[in-house]
Amino acid sequence: MLARGPGFSNGHPPRPRRGRPRGLRDSYRGLLQQQEPPSARPCTEFDKAYFHAYSHIGVHEEMIKDHVRTGTYKAAIMQYQNLIEGKVVLDVGCGTGILAIFCAFAGARRVYAVDASEIALQANEIVKDNNLSDKVIVMLGRVEDVNIEENVDVIISEWMGYMLLYETMLPSIIFARDKWLKPGGLILPSHATLYMAPVTHTARYSESIDFWRDVYGIKMSAMLPLAKQSAFEEPCIETITGENILTWPLVVMEVDCYTIIVQELESVTAKYRFSSMLNAPLHGFAFWFDVEFNGPAISPSNNHLQFPSGSLSSDQHSQSSSQSKKRVKSDETIVLSTAPEDAPTHWQQTLLYLYEPIELKQDQIIEGSVTLTQSKENARFLNIHLEYSSGGRSFIKESVMR
């Protein structure tokens, strides 16, 4: 069955080249208690272009072939089969419907598979080909616009973009959670953590910049400023290894999908203070993320979602206690990691390169702050403001992930 929701726009965007404040927490608790319906953000021309890009088969082929991504989701669904079997599931941004079908295989009574891209047409055919039309309902439209006439027990989605927040699909998860998720329901994945660390990457700098110093015996140093701007002005999506990392990472932000509200995504700031473990040039900073698949958090007193501290970090994560520490996980916790030391994924890592490397000595301090904000031009874009100081010199780098 293929249902078209009102306000339909053409689908999902390509990924580019590849202590919450008390007032916010109280306002969200009030929203839960009053059960006010969430309001949908208007669908913009940028949204339509974003959705249209996800109708291309290559985007879905890349994601499905990412065995770390797809295999981890499948393992998480099987781990929580007891919470899925016989229950109602909502798949937000279903794409080809692979996660919805995994949930049907796990025994879900009904799965609403929602996507605003024309890929939903193929997803519906895939559902038919697997004899699951009685269980999986494919809905063509934004999750903010479709009509689901029952509450759901589980929300599943692969919402993460480069640098975690690029594309800002998370507001759609929040909308779906507040409108349809039953108290004590399951969200997969449930938590996310964004990390950053200073990196050295001489080979990358050499290949993009030093090349111009001597081209077939011709001095082309006049090209260097343009080369640096071309190579390093915008964030780069690349794969690095643990050998490129100069220090333990910093937690930039944490997300608890059970409690986060959209206002918290508008701007995130983290201060940092790193101490280099090596004598090496500092070429820039790398960002990556983990997501965890944890069960629902229930408050015994009112059966509402809990508000654990630290669901989204900001300046408080600037202290050294935040470095090198991840959320305490049980042995059973399933984690999808995009860290440099783990198996590569299609997300790779996001690199912010400096125009001029800084020669570091062992134990030399690098400090500053990073601020991530939604672009006013397009909320799916990410503005990055990076301040960094070392060896008595201070710099600012501003970039846009678009």
Q: Would you name the residues annotated as active-site residues?
A: 158, 167
- Whole-angstrom distance, CA of residue 59 vs CA of residue 14: 7
Write out the H or E segment, with its range, that includes residue 197.
strand 191-199
Q: Position of tokens 């072939």? A: 65
Per DSSP bridges, beta strands 88-92 and 152-157 are parallel
Peptide bond into 189 cis (omega under 30): yes
- Whole-angstrom distance, CA of residue 240 vs CA of residue 149: 46
Contact criterion met (CB below 8 Å) for 381 and 374: yes
343 secondary structure, DSSP code = P
Contact criterion met (CB below 8 Å) for 255 and 368: no
Q: Position of tokens 């780098």? A: 397
- DSSP secondary structure string for all residues of 160-188: -BTTBTTT--HHHHHHHHHHHEEEEEEEE
